[in-house]
Structure 1
């Protein structure tokens, strides 16, 4: 691997994470432009549209997306990935954005890697390493600062935001673990495309997307376009391509650009006011995830072991 290839991978992953952060800001803007837009409706539109785009692209580049349905086990895993992975990581995230703001929602969701560590501790009896324990402590202190602003007897953010943000963090964990066995054989484009499409269609059980007569201005449709194209399809393709040049551990470190970009653009364009507790707490959470990523080889071994047991 040449330095040029490594630099290309770093740039692709960094831009992808920045775009994911901008996606949350665009969603926050849309909710402010039109209070009638619900997180459920936006998630349905995003998932179905982005899923179709990815599957069409997959067919055009020859990855044969329909192969994944030839076996019952792989089909069921795709459905599980969509419902248990993508729904919480996207719907719950948008709910947290709607009731709070993009920076706080993104920072809480950023706790996802620690959910994975806790999962392995409780169900696989794998004791975290010292760096992981230190990272968990940092993340706990950072989250505590954000949630209480230093006043332990009261909450500084709405419990609703904390609830939806916590579910989205769990979604990050399930979104990481469930599709792992499928990726080597079927590729990220097919797996993610079907996961998005299945999840988006199933969400219609709770409220058919065509029954919500949402009237949007050109600015509103522009935000939806940004969320789908620049906040879903393009960053996903860029991040998947970046993994061909850099290690997953490096990519995990670059994930820090997502909460940073959500914070910067929210302050710049939405005039979101963040306290010193939010900034310090957010910085501690980001440092904690980076500490965990630096010990990423251990995490990768755990995920591979988990995948072997579930095959």
Structure 2
């Protein structure tokens, strides 16, 4: 791998993470601009549109997206991926943004890698290493600062935000673990495209987006297009290409640009007020995830083993 390829991978992964972070800010703006827009409606539109686009791209580049449905085991897994992975990581995140703000929602969601570490600990009996243990302690205190602002007898953020944000962090874990065995066989485009589409179709059973009387004008359409194209499709493609040039551990470190971008854009353009506790707590969580990523060889080894054992 040349230095030029490595720099290209770092650039693509960094920009992808920033675009994901800004999509939360765009969603927050859309919720403020149009009170009729709900997290459910936005998630349905985003997942169905982005899923279809990714599947079309997969077909154009020569993949065979329909092959994933030919075996019962892979069909069940892709449905599980959509329902248990995509829905919490998309819908629950937007709910946290709607009831709170993009920086706090993104930072809480950023705890996802520690959910994976806890999964390893309790279900696979893989004990954390020293850097992982230190990272968990840092993440705990960072979350505590954000949630309490130093006052342990009261909450500084709404329990609703904490609830949805916590579910979105769990979604990051399931979104990582469930589709892993499918990726080598069917490719990231097909797997992600079907996961999004399955999730979007399932949510429409409970609240069809076309039954919601949402009037979208020019600014709302622009924000919606950004969330679908620049906040979902393009960053996914960029991140997938980045993984061809850099290690997954490096890519995980660059994910830190997501909460940073959400914070900078929210404070600059939406006048979101964050306290020193929020900034310091967020910094602790970001550093904790970096510590976990730097020691990510154990996680990668487990994911490879998981993929082989479930094929």
| TM-score in same-fold range (> 0.5) | yes
Q: Which residue of 2 aligns with 1:50?
A: 50
List aligned pairs for 1:1-311, cutoff 5 A. 1-311=1-311
Unaligned runs of 5+ in 1: none
Distance 1:167 1:131 in 2: 25
RMSD value, Cα: 0.7
- Counterpart of 2:244 in 1: which secondary structure? coil
Alignment TM-score, normalising by the size of structure 1 = 0.99
Distance 1:169 1:274 in 2: 21
- Kindly state the Cα deviation for residue 68 of structure 1 after the two structures are TM-superposed: 0.9
Contact 2:181 2:306 in 1 (8 A): no
Distance 2:59 2:306 in 1: 30
- Kindly state the Cα deviation for residue 64 of structure 1 after the two structures are TM-superposed: 1.1
- Kindly state the Cα deviation for residue 200 of structure 1 after the two structures are TM-superposed: 0.1
Moved beyond 4 Å, runs of 4+: none
- Counterpart of 2:181 in 1: which secondary structure? coil
Alignment coverage as a number of residue pairs? 311
Unaligned runs of 5+ in 2: none
Distance 1:58 1:302 in 2: 28
Distance 1:304 1:10 in 2: 23
- Counterpart of 1:67 in 2: which secondary structure? helix
- Counterpart of 1:246 in 2: which secondary structure? coil
Distance 1:222 1:284 in 2: 34
CA-to-aligned-CA distance 1:32-68 (integer Å, 9 cap, x gap)? 0011100000000000000000011111111111111
- Kindly state the Cα deviation for residue 307 of structure 1 after the two structures are TM-superposed: 2.4
Distance 1:305 1:185 in 2: 15
Distance 2:67 2:306 in 1: 24
Distance 2:302 2:133 in 1: 16
- Kindly state the Cα deviation for residue 279 of structure 1 after the two structures are TM-superposed: 0.1
CA-to-aligned-CA distance 1:200-242 (integer Å, 9 cap, x gap)? 0000122111111211121011110000000000000000000
Distance 2:79 2:209 in 1: 20
CA-to-aligned-CA distance 1:127-166 (integer Å, 9 cap, x gap)? 1111110000000000000000000000000000000000
- Kindly state the Cα deviation for residue 306 of structure 1 after the two structures are TM-superposed: 2.4
- Counterpart of 2:28 in 1: which secondary structure? helix
Alignment TM-score, normalising by the size of structure 2 = 0.99
- Counterpart of 2:180 in 1: which secondary structure? coil
Distance 2:275 2:103 in 1: 12
Distance 2:243 2:140 in 1: 29
